[in-house]
Chains A and B, each alone.
Chain A
Amino acid sequence: MNWVVLLAPLISAVLITLVLHPMKKLSVLVSILACAVSFLASLCLFYNNGAMHLSSIDWLDLPGLKVQIGGMADHLACLMLLVVSGVGLCIHIFAYGYMKEDPGLSRFFAKLSLFMFSMLGIVLANNLVMMFIFWELVGLSSYLLIGFWFQRPSAAEAAKKAFIVNRLGDFGFLLGILGVWLAWGTVDFKELSQQVASGHLPALLANNPFAVTLIGIGLFMGCVGKSAQFPLHVWLPDAMEGPTPVSALIHAATMVAAGVYMLCRVFFILELSHQVLQVIASLGALTAIFAALIATQQNDIKRILAYSTLSQLGYMVMAVGLGATQAAMFHLSTHAFFKALLFLGAGSVIHSLHHEQDIWKMGGLWKKMPVTAWTFLIGTLALTGCPLLSGFFSKDAILLAAFQHNKLVFSVGIITAGLTAYYMFRLFAVAFLGKPRSHAVDHAHESPLVMTAPLTILAALSVFGALFGQEEYLGLEHANHGGGWIVMGLSVCMFVLGISGGLLLYLKSREEPIHISLFANKFYSDELYEAIFVNGQQLLARLLDWVDRWIVGGFLVRGSAVLSTITGEVLRLLQGGNLSAYVMVFIVGVVFLCYWVLVYLKPLF
């Protein structure tokens, strides 16, 4: 019964793909309804506080390995379910308005449902293998949705890039899972946590102190791929080629947060190794500031938001690395609200400007699209950590943890907070304030209710999101001790500094006043990867091609053929067709054979 939360989107995806495909309106309705059912079921689970029982079946039962398909509806999962299905519902509704004219509307919603199914599967999974299965499924649906407009080469390329880069991380994740299974002999979260809590390490880990670090790094690699952390971050900005609701749902609110969710799930394993936590914290902090710096010089509205997502994911990962999983999950939830809101706001703008994404061709949208502008402002304020909005509390929780554990990480975090305020207000000032910068703006108009309603709901959640259940539910003891006021004061300072910087520089300017090519070109990471990995791979491929062509094909295969041909040609000269000559050769052969047998083999008799 309680599996409804997972099965509703699956049924919808199957139904739309197989039956309802030609009926667009009905497909949309079914998809949205399925999402609503999931949302209601999640609410049910949430208010039963994880007490509801989820039946499970044995999927794989081998000696030494038992894998279930089963649910685990604890606090963490319930919160995540609610965020995913709630934000998902808003985005489903918005997507109808956004995609109304698209000929592939049914296909789009079928894939959205497939994504919802996979994502909820990750959240519910009660063991690592099941999580990995759904992990791959979200990767697939992400690929399908980024490449939704597959007629555009850039979208097809971006989809491939996302999939391949994710595979790298998933490979590490799989190795991590194998390591966990090798060490503890089980992949079930409950059994694992019991074994870890019991305090004595299994033989494998006790004998190899480094093994637990390797396992932790492996599991973290899954997060690095899915949550687009520093070395594998390159796919996320390109993923913006997908339709904007997809960017909001998958590449801002839910899927990319799955990495952080997974880290929180397996935190008791990561915790065993101090080094792993350090790696996680430093990589998170690095990603946070790295992406924030890039975001300050981007011109595409969706790309700015994408880099901001990267930066915020860095925050969450950093929080996990500092041991503050509650803070990470808290920020994950609030971020899901306001980043989904920002993306949908951007989608609303893009929709009304007929797919214009360059912020320097916007401007003055404040008057044209008041609801979008207001909600976008709320989202921006929440993201930048305006006091009393949701983002303020969640970001503060992370910064506080950083302040208490690691001052270096804290300083990176606080600088990133300032940068966030700066680039978000740069975006807001350029796109919404000032005078129109192109004629497209003249024809802009407010989006229909089907798009503004989700914006309003998400805006409300962005404001009040922090209120529901931060302290009692997440077990987050707030502020007031251990430097709480210092952190809060500093973050407000950075917020004010960032905003004033952004507004002062960009409110009046008609074009980009600052040019930092390093940031504008994303630290040349795409070019660097192109030079190292793409060219390296090409070089290797060419080398192997040469080996195959000349050594294997040329020397070994053709060589042996040529050798036998030449031998044949030479031997052919001996074969004149003359019977006497044959007899002569035959008799000489027999004589030699006799001689050899009598002389050399005689001692053997």
Chain B
Amino acid sequence: MEAFTQITLNHYLALSGILFMIGMIGVMMRRNIIVIYMSLELMLNAANLALVSFSRFSAVPKLDGHIMVFLIITVAAAEVAVGLALIVALYRLKQTTNTGDLTSLKF
């Protein structure tokens, strides 16, 4: 029972992996571009979780992972601002958010 009460690094990493896979499958499967976007954020957060866990569970606790996570959150915020603006512009142009209809990105 000990193993279930004690939460170890492996549990965090497993959660992180599951979140990442959910995000990845979302990016692959979903057709709505906003949902794809949300899935992308999920993948980023899965990575964040892994980083923080490593930082917390290292033999000598350090703040490296935390700093990295803050950096990623900042970059992700900026990315969201740009990305959403792009999506709005795309919607104005094409009147759709369905990736099946947005196939002009080819040679």
Q: Which residues of A contact B (CB under 8 A)?
A: 572, 575-580, 582-584, 587
Complex interface: chain A residues within 8 A of B104 (CB):
577
Out of B24, B105, B107, which one reaches A579, CB within 8 Å?
Answer: B105
Q: Given A580-B28, A583-B28, A584-B28, is A572 in contact with B107 using a C-beta cutoff of 8 Å?
A: yes
11 A–B pairs (Cβ distance < 8 Å), ordered by A: A576-B103, A576-B106, A577-B104, A577-B105, A578-B99, A578-B100, A579-B102, A580-B99, A582-B105, A583-B28, A584-B28
B29 within 8 A of A: yes
| Distance (whole angstroms) from the CB of B43 to the closest CB of chain A | 11
| Distance (whole angstroms) from the CB of A157 to the closest CB of chain B | 58
Out of B27, B100, B102, which one reaches A583, CB within 8 Å?
Answer: B27
Complex interface: chain A residues within 8 A of B24 (CB):
587
Q: Mark B20-48, 1 if CB is under 8 A from A, else 0.
A: 00001001110101001000000000000
Chain A, Cβ-Cβ closest to B25: A587
Complex interface: chain A residues within 8 A of B27 (CB):
583
Which of B85-107 touch A at CB < 8 Å? 99-100, 102-107
| Distance (whole angstroms) from the CB of A158 to the closest CB of chain B | 63
| Distance (whole angstroms) from the CB of B104 to the closest CB of chain A | 6
The 6 A-B pairs with the shortest beta carbon distances in the complex, nearest first, are A577-B103, A577-B106, A579-B99, A575-B106, A577-B105, A583-B28
Complex interface: chain B residues within 8 A of A580 (CB):
28-29, 31, 99
CA distance A237 to B29 in the complex (A): 92
Out of A578, A584, A587, which one reaches B103, CB within 8 Å?
Answer: A578
CA distance A576 to B99 in the complex (A): 12
Known: A576-B103, A579-B102, A587-B28. 17 other contacts (CB 8 A): A575-B107, A576-B106, A577-B102, A577-B103, A577-B104, A577-B105, A577-B106, A578-B99, A578-B100, A579-B33, A579-B36, A580-B29, A580-B31, A580-B99, A582-B105, A584-B28, A587-B24
CA distance A584 to B107 in the complex (A): 18
CA distance A575 to B102 in the complex (A): 13
Complex interface: chain B residues within 8 A of A582 (CB):
105
Which of B55-107 touch A at CB < 8 Å? 99-100, 102-107
CA distance A572 to B105 in the complex (A): 12
CA distance A43 to B34 in the complex (A): 108
Chain A, Cβ-Cβ closest to B99: A579
CA distance A579 to B30 in the complex (A): 10
| Distance (whole angstroms) from the CB of B91 to the closest CB of chain A | 15
Chain A, Cβ-Cβ closest to B31: A580
| Distance (whole angstroms) from the CB of A143 to the closest CB of chain B | 60
Complex interface: chain B residues within 8 A of A583 (CB):
27-28
Chain A, Cβ-Cβ closest to B104: A577
Chain A, Cβ-Cβ closest to B106: A577
CA distance A583 to B99 in the complex (A): 12
| Distance (whole angstroms) from the CB of B32 to the closest CB of chain A | 11
CA distance A576 to B27 in the complex (A): 17
Complex interface: chain B residues within 8 A of A572 (CB):
107
| Distance (whole angstroms) from the CB of B74 to the closest CB of chain A | 24
Complex interface: chain A residues within 8 A of B99 (CB):
578-580
